[in-house]
Amino acid sequence: MDSAIKKELPIIGIVLMPFIYLAFIWNTLPNKVPTHWNYKGEVDHWGDKISLLGILFMLPVFTYLLLLIIPKIDPKKRISLMGGKYQQLKFMLVLFISALAFVVLYITKNQSISSITLIYLPIGLLFIGLGNYFKVIQPNYFIGIKTPWTLDNKEVWKLTHVLAGKLWVVGGLIVVVSSLTFPTDVNSYIMLTITAIITITPIAFSYFKFKEIEKKG
């Protein structure tokens, strides 16, 4: 068997696990199931249980296929420079998305559990995982903090991702702790606040750092 295919088999197995779980619980599900929750953890959309297959295709399957294609269409071929690190990143992202799919199916099956706190914990862990990978991501158009200033200057890219990595790790830790400590409504505000901070701060930093370097040049 080709070595490249061997590398993909564990990830493909992770992609398939939510489908196996869905097949296992299929006969226990009602015909109408909750398919979406608002930030307060309240069900705001219902659908036929067949729609759960669509959710699984949109989560782990789409994520895996996208990550599989990105290195091939990267015009600068920078992602390939990550080597084994990209494979690890792909594994981590697919694992997270599949775990998220499991949580969605679990909440759907146990309709008395409407709290989305179950989802905050893995999201916090994802923030931590991504934060640790930011420093090794090469400049590219698909993954990372992609602003006009990071894409235009390698130094700005590097400095921005070092800062973003620290912010995402700290933000992820806060989300994990809060998800285990506070009620759903408090967690919702914490999640929104942390997401805004770790998203906006690196973007602003990249702009000011670019202007600073431009002045020195």
pLDDT in tens, 29-52: 888 887 766 666 666 777 888 888
Global pTM?
Answer: 0.82
**pLDDT of the residue at 48:** 85
- Rounded to the nearest integer, the mean pLDDT of the chain is 87
Number of domains in the chain: 2
CA distance 194 to 44: 24
- Which of 61, 87, 114 is the last residue in one of the domains? 114
pLDDT of residue 75: 81
Q: What is the pLDDT of residues 120-169, one digit of tens each?
A: 888 999 999 999 999 888 888 888 999 999 999 999 999 999 999 999 99
Of 83 and 133, which is predicted with more confidence? Answer: 133
What are the phi and psi torsion angles at 142 (to 5°)? -120, -40
Planar angle of CA 72, 75, 203, nearest 5 degrees: 110
pLDDT at residue number 34: 74
Q: Are residues 172 and 128 in the same domain?
A: yes
Together in a domain, 90 and 174: no
Domain enclosing residue 16, as ranges: 1-114
The pLDDT assigned to 112 comes to 54
CB atoms within 10 A of CB 180: 12
The answer to whether the beta carbons of residues 128 and 172 sit under 8 Å apart is: yes
Task: In the chain, count H helices and then E strands.
Answer: 8, 2
pLDDT higher than 90, residue 61: yes
**Would you list the DSSP string of 147-158?**
-HHHHH-HHHHH
